[in-house]
Amino acid sequence: MNRSIRQLAFGLMVCYVVLFAALNYWQVGQKEELDAKFDNTRQILREFNRPRGSIITADGVVAARSIPDTTNEDLDFAREYPTGDLFANVTGYFTKDFGSTQVERAYGDVLVGSTASQQVLALVDLLEGNVDNSGSVQLSMRHDAQSAAKFALGGREGSITVMDPNTGAIIAMYSNPTYDPNVFVGDDFEAAQQAITDLQNADGNPLLANAYQERYMPGSTFKVITTGIGLETGVLSRDTVFPNERQYVPPQTNDPINNYNGSECGGDMAEVFRRSCNIPFAKTAIELGVERFVEGTEAWGIGEQIPIDLPRAATSTIGNVENLDQTLPLLAIRGFGQSEDQMVPLHMAMVASTVANGGRMMEPYVVEATFDNAGRELSRATPDVWKTPISPESAALETEFMIGVVESGTASCCVDLDGDIQAAMKTGTAELGVASNPDLSHAWIIGFAPAEAPRYAISVVLTNVQSTEDVSATGGRLAGPIAESMLNFLLTGEGAT
């Protein structure tokens, strides 16, 4: 009988080896595939059953927090956004059924307390009886500045970005259309699904943050970049003079390039800049040639994803550059921000910041610091230079040009800061060239203040604005007052610090 018993032992052993193999198959081999199954809610259930920390603005207002969920027996916590749509584009959302975005996504590990440093600190806390390991995220953004931006935009489609040019810290970043995450973080799956589907199908992509996840034709604000490239390469200088002319026919075509509204425009560098003539910048682009122009724009970060600490930032572009030397008229037009040029509004604020910060473009960030549950600091933003496209001398010169824009140029109508504070701005009116609606434009303004010791850089864009017979929809006229009110609010108004 012993032989049979030994064979039985072997047989049972084989059975258990099979079980062990199956266990490995499911827990290791198929893990990723199973985790990714659409109806697998384990990950989310786990996160919703743990306390999740708050997202707090620089001035101490809670933008996102967890509250005990008393209505759903599966979940212990629900997410709440007390500021409604105000910070939606930055905090993003954290949902059971539709994933998570923005800070909720990028800083999810801090919020639930799963970073290595939190886990270590948690061991100490555990002995003191504290097992809530959630962390909190403090934004560099201010609730009052964000509210002012929302008010200034007044429901119009577009975005406002205000940042500290010296550090890259974003102070305000608001855009329309936006959304209120509270409408789809609730327990009612059907209602939430309907709400999020409606938002996905709505015009203007409200779920995307226009300020850093979309890009728009920049119009004349791009001339800050072209001027910078010209100055750095020696193609332009303070003394460069352009003739007064109405039309310019670039190489390889018979179609002339016009100035805005077909006006006659020319003069020295400061004058063509403040009057925003098109022809001088078209000529500059042609003189630079494709190679130097493309390299120059790359030095400004065009073609690279914006290095903000939020997921899925957009990338600015000057369009397709292959065979551009065969289509030089397109190069000429891109020199003044039309054609295929597409800039992210945040990137334009960074362009203004570069001039303000002596030629150094800082990496933008929205998260100032993170803290563990006991309030100990886990991390703090450190200002980092992303690009250095121009020298301090060129930056000083461009600052001079941009002051001219405010004093006697395209923004003189509309930007005059309180308390004799000098602003330096550049306007832009991107003509979208829609055949059925030739008057449709994006109205831009970028700049900074105070000009001599810059504290805030700003970019404002109103998208898809319509010129009427009485009012031409220019950047100066439409975006200028918005920038003015924001800078006044921050420098001398209620938000002055």
Partner 1 sequence: MSTPAAINDIGSAFTDQTSPRSPIARRRRNTELALIIMVGLITGVAYTIAALGTNAEIPPGIVVFVAILLGLLLCAHIAVRLVARGADSTLLPLAALLHGIGFVMITRLDDRLAGLQATWSLIGIFVFVGTLVVVQRTNDLANRKWIFFVGGAALLLLPMVPGVGQTFNGARIWVSIGAVNFQPGEFAKIALAIFFAAYLAERRELIAAMTWKVGPFRLPEPRYILPIIVAWGFAVVVMVGERDLGSSLLFFTLFVVMMWVATENAGYVVIGAVLFFGAAYFSWSQFSHVQLRVTNWINPWDDPLDGGYQIIQSLYGLADGGLLGTGLGRGNPGQVPEAQNDFIFASIGEEFGLVGATAILMSYVLIVGAGLRTALRTERTFEKLLATGLTTIIGIQAFIIIGGVLKVIPLTGITLPFVSYGGSSLIANYILLALLIRVSDSAARRLNELPDDPTTSERWQAWRLSRRIRKAIKRGEVPSDFVGVVS
Residues that bind partner 1 (CB under 8 A): 1-9, 12-13, 15-16, 18-20, 22-24, 26-28, 30-31, 33-35, 37, 39-43, 45-46, 49, 126, 129, 131-132
Cβ-based neighbour number of residue 298 at 10 Å: 14
- 379's enclosing H/E stretch is strand 377-380
Work out whether the CA dihedral 234, 237, 243, 244 comes out positive or negative: positive
What does the buried/exposed string (b/e) look like for 402-430 if buried means 16 or more CB atoms within 10 Å of the residue's CB?
A: bbbbbeebbbbebbbbeeebebbbbbbbb
Q: Of 497, 496, 417, 482, which Cα lies nearest the Cα of 449?
A: 417
Q: 């319509």: which residue's tokens?
A: 466
Which of 39/420 has CB closer to partner 1?
39
For the chain, what is the radius of gyration of the CA atoms? 27
Q: At closest approach, how far in Å is the CB of 103 from partner 1?
A: 24
- 126's enclosing H/E stretch is helix 116-127
Q: Cα(434)–Cα(490) distance, rounded to whole angstroms?
A: 37
Which of 31/246 has CB closer to partner 1?
31
Which of 339/373 has CB closer to partner 1?
373
Contact 77, 71 (CB under 8 A): no
Q: At closest approach, how far in Å is the CB of 134 from partner 1?
A: 11
Which of 16/497 has CB closer to partner 1?
16
Which of 12/385 has CB closer to partner 1?
12
For β-strands 257-258 and 247-248, DSSP reports them as antiparallel
Q: Give the 3-state secondary structure of residue 133.
A: coil
Q: At closest approach, how far in Å is the CB of 119 from partner 1?
A: 11
Q: At closest approach, how far in Å is the CB of 110 from partner 1?
A: 18
Distances (CA, A) of 340 to 58, 123, 217, 433: 37, 55, 7, 11
Burial of 240 (0-12, 13-18, 19+ CB in 10 A): middle
Q: Give the 3-state secondary structure of residue 325.
A: helix
- List all residues 6 or more positions away from 462 whose beta carbon is below 8 Å from its beta carbon: 156, 157, 158, 442, 443, 473, 478, 479, 482
Q: Of 397, 406, 421, which Cα lies nearest the Cα of 487?
A: 421
Q: Cα(492)–Cα(475) distance, rounded to whole angstroms?
A: 24
Q: At closest approach, how far in Å is the CB of 18 from partner 1?
A: 6
Q: At closest approach, how far in Å is the CB of 97 from partner 1?
A: 15
Which of 2/71 has CB closer to partner 1?
2
Q: At closest approach, how far in Å is the CB of 114 from partner 1?
A: 11
Q: Cα(225)–Cα(355) distance, rounded to whole angstroms?
A: 10
Contact 421, 491 (CB under 8 A): yes
Q: At closest approach, how far in Å is the CB of 196 from partner 1?
A: 22
Q: Cα(151)–Cα(486) distance, rounded to whole angstroms?
A: 10
Q: At closest approach, how far in Å is the CB of 79 from partner 1?
A: 18
Q: At closest approach, how far in Å is the CB of 344 from partner 1?
A: 38
Which of 126/496 has CB closer to partner 1?
126
Which of 22/202 has CB closer to partner 1?
22
Q: At closest approach, how far in Å is the CB of 16 from partner 1?
A: 5
Which of 24/237 has CB closer to partner 1?
24
Q: At closest approach, how far in Å is the CB of 45 from partner 1?
A: 5
Which of 126/241 has CB closer to partner 1?
126
DSSP 381: -
Contact 488, 415 (CB under 8 A): no
Cβ-based neighbour number of residue 442 at 10 Å: 27
Which of 35/384 has CB closer to partner 1?
35
Which of 43/320 has CB closer to partner 1?
43
Which of 18/434 has CB closer to partner 1?
18
Q: At closest approach, how far in Å is the CB of 24 from partner 1?
A: 7
